[in-house]
Amino acid sequence: MPVRNPAEERKKAMASRTPNGIDEAQARRLRQRFRKGVFVIPSLLTTANIFCGFYSVMESLAGAKALALIPALGTDSLYSGAIATATEHFDRAAITIGLAALFDLLDGRVARMTNATSEFGLELDSIADVVSFGIAPALLAFAWGYGEFSDLHNVGWAASFLFVICGALRLARFNVQARRPHSNLPPKNPKVDRKAFVGMPIPVGATMIASIAHFSPRPAGYAGESRLWSLGFGPHVYAIVLVVLVICLAFLMISTLRYSSFKNVGVGNRNPRILIIGLALVVTLVWFYSRWVLLILATIYASHGVLLKLWSFVKPRRAEAEKGEFDLDTRSRT
């Protein structure tokens, strides 16, 4: 039986300890616990996203319930009070969709920064997006926008469902493209995949609907004093425009148009002062002028994919025309 040397055992124990007095096994356990905590953070943000979507659905239902009580109200004061209550509910529904988009942006950023992406997080994020950016804005558009018009009820119902199913298809395509390439799929271009999305992201379509509702939260069927009527059309035309808009957003999500992902913003920037100042300016403008700023930002992003596609058709023609003029000029000189 070997003789134990207490002095050598103490030296080995001291050698296995870190400079802070923690042995390697304990340090490994601490790193594993920290790693598990890092993986939980994106899931918590996704859970907040789901909560905002569910809250928006409940607020839209509450607004629709307030509008359903209007025919039974006899006095003007109760009539105005019901419309004001519905307006508050629809406004909160639109705001919470915007908050869900913020949480969706943060959970993706945090997962990439901490290298905590996982299959579980990808699936949970897709479910959250269907709730917050599919069902919630579709229900908001129907209850607040065009559901109160009897001649648009069936068409509006179909438009809202089309928005949900196209959003789900867009998420399914994104999940397939995000996973490892298969033999039956075409190879991906990493530069294009990183810089652009294929099809309009579903949060953009949701925030487009929410920004319009936040800009004018009074129900479309009862918005007689809305600032939008100064453009020369009434509530019924406004509701028709909303139906067309929802349908267009649905088809943009399943299109192959390229939309900037902004994933490279702030990456490798040695002088981030301009980025910080720009973000501070945007946050300040949203805080004081949220109705106008959010509507402008959502409109610019939702339309820039279409504009870039149109520009790609015009640009080659310009290049060919300039080349033809150059050839004619050289021939005339010779």
Pairwise CA distance, residues 60 & 217, whole Å: 11
Using one digit for the tens of pLDDT, what is the confidence trace for 84-135? 899 999 999 999 999 999 999 888 888 777 777 778 888 889 999 999 999 9
The end-to-end CA distance of the chain, in Å, is 104
Pairwise CA distance, residues 150 & 222, whole Å: 14
- Tokens 């789901």 — which residue? 50
Pairwise CA distance, residues 31 & 230, whole Å: 62
- Tokens 């579980």 — which residue? 120
Segment 195-220 shows an average pLDDT of 91
Q: Give the C-alpha distances (Å, rounded to integers) separating 25 from 7, 17, 40, 101.
A: 21, 9, 23, 41
Segment 185-204 shows an average pLDDT of 67
Helix runs in the chain, H state only? 6-15, 24-68, 76-113, 119-130, 136-140, 153-178, 190-195, 202-215, 235-253, 273-288, 290-333
User: Looking at the predicted structure, is the pLDDT value of residue 232 above 90?
Assistant: no
- Return the pLDDT at 316: 66
Q: Give the C-alpha distances (Å, rounded to integers) separating 171 from 129, 140, 177, 184, 290.
A: 8, 20, 10, 20, 28
Using one digit for the tens of pLDDT, what is the confidence trace for 253-302? 999 898 887 766 655 555 677 778 888 898 899 889 999 999 999 999 99
Architecture of domain 36-262: Up-down Bundle (1.20)
- Return the pLDDT at 129: 94
pTM, 2 dp: 0.79
